[in-house]
């Protein structure tokens, strides 16, 4: 099983700043199979990025993904108030599919 470790656990920033979230895998992942989700309290997760760097439909270009191998990054530029949420990385290239433990982005 591929274990995904996200850092930091909590990130405290202000609107307008840039957030950099990290996801490290215990084994190499093909970039084709790394995704990022955003989750707000009481809601289902929302797909932001798939294939490491492809934005999902309707996701603003403030959200960008990068990385390869075992190290991946989600960058959120010009933070908006609605961006403060929990973010999960997810690998779907190797069974069982797994998720990181999450990074909470707080004001």
Partner 1 sequence: QVQLQESGPGLVKPSETLSLTCTVSGGSVSLSSYYWGWIRQPPGKGLEWIGSIYYNGNTNYNPSLKSRVTISLDTSNNQFSLKLSSVTAADTAVYFCARVVDGYVLIPFDYWGQGTLVTVSS
Binding residues vs partner 1 (CB under 8 A): 1, 32-33, 35, 37, 43-47, 50-51, 54, 56-57, 88, 90, 92, 95-102
Q: Which is nearer to partner 1, 16 or 96 (CB)?
A: 96
* Residue 18 beta carbon to partner 1: minimum distance, rounded to whole angstroms: 25
SS3 31: helix
Q: What's the 3-state SS for 33-78?
A: HEEEEEECCCCCCEEEEECCCEECCCCCCCEEEEEEEEEEEEEECC
Q: Which is nearer to partner 1, 18 or 101 (CB)?
A: 101
How many residues in total does the chain contain? 107
Q: Which is nearer to partner 1, 83 or 91 (CB)?
A: 91
């Amino acid at each position: 099983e591929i274990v995904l470790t996200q850092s930091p656990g909590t990130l405290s920033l202000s609107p307008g700043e840039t957030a950099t979230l990290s996801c490290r895998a215990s084994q190499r992942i093909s970039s084709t199979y790394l995704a990022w989700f955003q989750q707000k309290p009481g809601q289902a997760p929302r797909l932001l990025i798939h294939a490491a760097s492809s934005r999902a439909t309707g996701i603003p270009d403030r959200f960008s993904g990068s990385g390869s191998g075992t190290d991946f990054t989600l960058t959120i530029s010009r933070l908006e108030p609605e961006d403060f949420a929990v973010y999960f990385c997810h690998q779907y290239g190797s069974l069982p599919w797994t998720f990181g433990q999450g990074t909470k982005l707080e004001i």
